[in-house]
Structure 1
């Protein structure tokens, strides 16, 4: 299985600490050696990095870890290939445009029969079942709302329904964002935590690295991190149940 990492924050925040733990799982402390990728939202823009090589050995991953890119929404993925060859076009996360927004999607699991479903307006570039599922999902959203809906609740409920439908095809652990809301669906493994005042220290599981967030934040900061498995050993993570769907906006749990 692949592993996911996401972040939602109310102020631009770097993800260097959490990404340091994830990149070690990409071939050093975990078997996910078949590529990695990450997307950072900056205003309406989306800065992405992809590499089909193991993140633990990638110079690009080292750059991302050491360069504090500030973002309010981040989606990242390390891959262990089971559908689709190891190549750049098959690395997550995948991006597409809808309503003048860049949407980003990452998935782990397998979806039997997904490629028989029409993707309509969107076409996959690579050969993964994940990208096909993203194209299908986003086309369904586009067909339901050619223009953005007025409220977020209806969109979140619709995305949750599509995620449940896809989960019926196999295993569907998902992170999806339009740059504002981070939607998360758990099929087997997904966990999250929210950091807010009073902040304290945290130590990574996959590396001997500790950060005191009291020194790195201000009292009004709210930062939620989502990961396939908890990344730190001394914080209280919420482990999601199979079939559970949650959404975060500006670091706050909204659904």
Structure 2
């Protein structure tokens, strides 16, 4: 299956070391050779990079692991295809707009017979089960939270958990999901996390990293308890 990485912090930060270890899993230390992608969110802006080749062989991936892009939230993905050919349209993170913000989504797992009707507000461009699930999630969030002028992240998290549970009945559904303000994560089978805190007084930098498998470093990694 695919591999996920995510970072969320209370101020813009870089994660070059983590990305170097992570992208190596795209063909050098792992078998996830069917494309990769990264989304760097900072405030209202987002920089998205995708490539259908192996991350371990990608000059673009090498550049992003060296260039110090600062962001408050990062999503990254290395793909091992189960649905859809290696192509840009099938690379994660997928993105859509809702309420004037860009939402990014990555999925790890395989879904079977998940094909609910879509209204047309969000439709897949590629052939993956992941993008189909993302479009359905966005459609349901838009429909069920339309009465709220500005949904609170806790309301989104509660609804997202309910929707993800429905999708999870069709297979494995580990996900990372963000609008650049909050990071939402669901562990169905395997995810790990670590926290970095630098004690600099009142304005203390805090960062959480999430990965399918630990990425090493000075801070310990912990396993999520899979959702039931």
How high is the TM-score relative to the length of structure 2?
A: 0.94
- Equivalent residue for 1:9? 9
- Equivalent residue for 1:220? 204
Give 3-state SS (helix, strand or coil) of 2:107's partner: strand
- Equivalent residue for 1:252? none
Shift in Å at residue 117 of structure 1? 3.8
1:23 and 1:61 in contact (8 A); partners too: yes
Shift in Å at residue 4 of structure 1? 0.3
CA deviation profile, 1:204-243 (whole Å, cap 9, x unmatched): xxxxxxxxxxxxxx97110100000110065321201221
C-alpha separation in 1, matches of 2:42 and 2:16:
16
CA deviation profile, 1:153-176 (whole Å, cap 9, x unmatched): 222111111111111110001000
Task: Output the aligned Cα RMSD.
Answer: 1.7
Count of residues in correspondence between the two structures: 226
- Equivalent residue for 1:240? 224
Q: Does 1:153 align with 2:154?
A: yes
Q: Does 1:73 align with 2:73?
A: yes
1:196 and 1:219 in contact (8 A); partners too: no
CA deviation profile, 1:64-94 (whole Å, cap 9, x unmatched): 0000000001111000001111111000000
C-alpha separation in 1, matches of 2:119 and 2:31:
31
Which runs of 5 or more structure 2 residues have no equivalent in the other structure?
Answer: none
1:103 and 1:177 in contact (8 A); partners too: yes
The runs of 4+ residues in structure 1 deviating greater than 2 Å are 115-120, 146-152
- Equivalent residue for 1:208? none
C-alpha separation in 1, matches of 2:101 and 2:31:
34
Which runs of 5 or more structure 1 residues have no equivalent in the other structure?
Answer: 200-217, 245-255
- Equivalent residue for 1:85? 85
Say if 1:15 and 1:158 are closer, same or farther in 2 by CA, change over 3 A: same
CA deviation profile, 1:94-123 (whole Å, cap 9, x unmatched): 000000010000001111112344254101
- Map 1:181-220 → 2, pairs under 5 A: 181-197=182-198, 220=204
Give 3-state SS (helix, strand or coil) of 2:115's partner: helix
Structure 1 residues 225-234 or 60-69, which shifts more? 225-234
